[in-house]
Chain A
Amino acid sequence: MIDFSQIDKLIHEKGRLAIMTLLYTRGEWAFQDLKAETGMSDGNLITHLRTLSQADYVSERRDSNGVRPKTSYSITKAGKKAFRTYVEVLEAIVKATTK
């Protein structure tokens, strides 16, 4: 029997799921790059990133060198672990309900 409370509600939201997947898949992402890939607005993306940062799933790096300051994001160890657990729970739900 699957305990649905195991699902990480923080990651389960589609926007945050997209961010977590991208960060998990391909290292560090610049804010503009994440925005282009997800198609989210600035405000939406910042809100989601802030939520993930507060949960210590995502870390932020500001680079003020160069003409324009750049903010990049990467997934933390805790974020990786949470993401893997989340995928495992989804897979368990699919397995359990298709039996």
Chain B
Amino acid sequence: MSNPNQAALEHLRIIRSLMERAHVYRALSAPAAMLGGLLAMAASGYLLWRGKSVAISGDTFLWVWLGILGISAIANMLLLARDAARRGQPVVSDGMRTASRTLAPPLLAGGVLGIGCVLHLDAVSLAATIWVICYGLALLASAGFSPKSLVWLGRIFFLTGLILFGLSFLSPLGWGFFDRAIATIIMGATFGFYHVVYATALFIRGTESTIPAIE
């Protein structure tokens, strides 16, 4: 590389690439996504199979999915802590602080609106749709530091949520009698199936360094 212009461009490209990648923070570990996804699919499948998704109360629906969220969140934190310890970094790193600040507003908004829909409007499928949209928004908001796979997951969640919201207007009474069954399917298909696909894709691709090899 004798041309100074080419050499300078190459070095600037390396700097840019390294700087971008040094900021990457994966707020959702693949094993936690797999665990949460499988739990969500199992819960959804069980409720549908036993026909409980039709008769289930709003409160029970909330407790089931808050329980799955709690287990998945704890597993995710433990895995992130283990990963940080392995790399000799503090658990509460700059990346985690940035991720928390970015993810908290849309997740909090989704949580509050969704719980409000269940408790005050008894609109369970609307709550599930709001959770899907807000979760997608949270992942999209993290695009500045998240790996591409997580941003794609956010896009898919967000689009799915919008489509579901549009579909709910097809019937003037919303999903009516099937409201809870639809909500259960939504939760299983999105928080369940999407997360399993995401985690599987990461497992297949394997662990990759966030920095390209240095020659």
Contacts and interface: CB of A to CB of B under 8 A. Distances in A.
Interface stretch (B67-75, B122-130, B191-199, B206-214): B206-214
Assign chain A's interface to a size class: 20 to 34
B166 interface: no
A37 B214 CA distance: 9
Interface string A16-36: 011001101111001111001
Given A30-B89, A94-B9, 11 more contacts: A2-B4, A14-B14, A17-B15, A26-B22, A30-B87, A31-B88, A33-B87, A33-B89, A38-B211, A87-B15, A93-B4
Contacts of B87: 30, 32-33, 36
B66 interface: no
B172 to A, nearest CB: 54
Question: Chain B's interface: helix, strand, loop or mixed, by majority?
Answer: helix
Interface residues of B, number: 22
Interface of A: 2, 4, 12, 14-15, 17-18, 21-22, 24-27, 30-33, 36-40, 70, 72, 87, 90-91, 93-94, 97-98
